[in-house]
Amino acid sequence: MTTSYLMGVDVGTQSAKVIIFDTEGNVICEGKQALRKMNIPAPLLAEHPDDDLWDALKLAFKRAIDLFRALNGDIHQILAMGICIIRCCRVLLKANGELAYPVINWMDKRLNKPYEYTDACKDTRYITTASGYITHRLTGEFRDTCANYIGWWPMDNDTLDWSTDPQAWKACNLQRDRVLDVVKPGEILGHLTQMAAREIGLPAGIPVVATAHDKAVEALGAGSLDEGVALISLGTYIGAMVHGHANVKNAKYFWPFQAAIPHHYLYECMGVRRGMWTISWFRDQFGATAQAEAQNASLCVEEWLNQEASRVPAGCEGLLTVHDWAPPSDAEFRKGAMIGFDGRHTRAHMYRSVLEGIAFTMKNHMDKMAQELKMPFRRLIISGGGANSDLFMQIFADVFGLPTSRNQLRSSAATGCVINAGMAIGVFDSYEQAIEKMVKRGDTFFPDMSNHAFYSQLNHGVYRHINASLDPLLQKLSPLVD
């Protein structure tokens, strides 16, 4: 019997990944390529250099296909690919589909405002998202998923199509003929062109399938559809979300985004900007000695740092990290901070404090969402590379006081991609059946309730009040240095 395959294409802030699955949910192989360092031409600006998204993705495809061939895989048995590309970017295209300007990353403050014409972008014909751009590179179509338009876009999240309200277009400074056509998640965007097929090593004609924005695709791929089950996605942006069935209006503590299942919604609270980036930053800036020690112990540096930090008591003996390395749009003056140093503190305390700060921040945002939804969380699923850390998983369980699980494949966005791809071509009868087949459950961590009690006291008594105490000073600092 011939085995069939599906491809998940996942391009995030820091890397591009291509994963090939069989239709029973088994991972066959993976290709990965790191993105280049972001261009930061000025504070709070962020651009992807040159054509980095596409260049990195081509290398990821090549590595995946080379491994697939080495395993005697038949590329003609790859049925479809689902694509999940970094959300909340703004991409300006020429009439021929080439970049008119470097891709503007989601951390750039220009994305806090509607699109503005500038002379630097005079060749712009289309304004789109990163998924619209990669769709064009793969298929030649000027088409995109309707579920990746977050922010200053006139998208109607009830009809899953462009708004018919002229005022919505005016507010976003856009016109209908300047944006791409859209399709729903689980629908075919187009087919792989001859040119793209030659560049990435696949047969032309493979269906390229729409998903949603990256966090929604992760939520689908994590299998977090049940009520009260929240996903925390550990990426450069750390988000938390839960599925829902209504496009809730005027929510105060969460956003109702389109889910990766058409006419479903994803409720997402505020998260941590540059969350996992902070951990990479710490490793790169302070981990040279740890790197040498890890090599001597035949471990990777992350494992070594986790082992060190696991010997530090909960609460890091008073060392607290505030995760505002990339501040929110409503408080651009904020900056990251570590406070509470004394003579007890070591590199291990600092590293664990970074992890605990992420967990505290997410709990405080998620508590507000749960209260507004009148739906307490009963279980967490953690996705992303950080879920490999037993220490980080236990910190989440202890801070939240909830069972906390991870799936066998940490990159749940790729799983979500192949679920959408399989639905588009009839491999699965329903999303529920697809999840049952494709999502492989992993470990569950249960809270240490004594740690939970201490974390709750530390959070309610101190951590929740740090911003209010630091904001007046940071408001004075920002004009002097920014």
Residue 27, pLDDT above cutoff 60:
yes
Share of the chain above pLDDT 90, in %: 85
Average pLDDT over residues 324-347: 91
Fold of the domain spanning 5-210? Nucleotidyltransferase; domain 5 (3.30.420)
- Residue from 5, 14, 465 nearest 280 by CA: 14
Rounded alpha-carbon distances, angstroms, from residue 314 to 16, 50, 337: 35, 44, 19
Which of left, alpha, beta for 307 (phi over 0: left; psi -120 to 50: alpha)? alpha
Look up tokens 């938390």; give the residue: 240
Annotate 8-74 with DSSP letters as a single string.
EEEE-SSEEEEEEEETTS-EEEEEEEEPPPPB-SSTT--B--TTHHHHHHHHHHHHHHHHHHHTT--
Backbone angles phi, psi at 473, to 5 degrees: -70, -40
Average pLDDT value for residue range 284-293: 87
Both structure tokens of 40: 């930061």
Output the pLDDT for position 274. 87
Rounded mean pLDDT, 169-192: 97
Q: Please give the pLDDT value at position 454.
A: 98
Which position has the higher pLDDT, 460 or 120? 460
CATH classification for the domain delimited by 223-407+448-482, as one of 3.20.10.10, 1.10.645.10, 3.40.50.970, 3.30.420.40: 3.30.420.40
How much of the chain, in percent, has pLDDT values that exceed 70? 100
- The domain spans of the chain are 5-210, 223-407+448-482
DSSP string spanning 77-145?
Answer: GEEEEEEEE-SS-BEEE-TTSSBSSPPBPTTSGGGGS-----GGGTT--EEE-HHHHHHHHHHS--EEE
pLDDT digits (tens, 9 = 90+) for 238-258: 999 999 889 999 999 999 999
Maximum alpha-carbon separation in the chain: 69
- Name, in order, each residue with C-beta under 8 angstroms of 173's C-beta and a sequence gap of 6 or more: 114, 115, 116, 152
Lowest mean pLDDT among 94-103, 284-293, 457-466: 284-293
Three-state DSSP class for residue 443: strand
Q: What is the pLDDT of residue 327?
A: 85
Q: How many CB atoms lie within 10 A of CB 398?
A: 25
Read off the DSSP letter of residue 231.
Answer: E
In whole angstroms, give the CA distance from residue 196 to residue 194: 6
Please give the backbone phi and psi of residue 354, each rounded to the nearest 5 degrees, phi first. -60, -45
| pLDDT over threshold 90, residue 21 | yes
CB 186 within 8 A of CB 210: yes
Residues 45-55 have a mean pLDDT of 96
- Angle ∠(76,78,81) on CA atoms, nearest 5: 140
Q: What is the mean pLDDT of the chain?
A: 94
pLDDT band per the 50, 70, 90 thresholds, residue 291 = confident
pLDDT beyond 90 at 352: yes
Instruction: Answer for the pair 359, 399: CB distance below 8 angstroms, yes or no.
Output: yes
**What's the token pair of residue 340?**
């509470």
Of the two residues 17 and 44, the one the predictor is more confident about is 17
Kindly tell me if the per-residue pLDDT of 393 is higher than 60.
Answer: yes
CA distance 390 to 411: 16
Q: List, as one string, the DSSP characters of 253-305.
A: S-EEEE-SSTT-EEEE---BTTHHHHHHHHHHHH-HHHHHHHHHTT--HHHHH
Residue 1 confidence (pLDDT) above 60: no
The reported pLDDT for the residue numbered 329 is 79
Domains 5-210 and 223-407+448-482 share a fold: yes
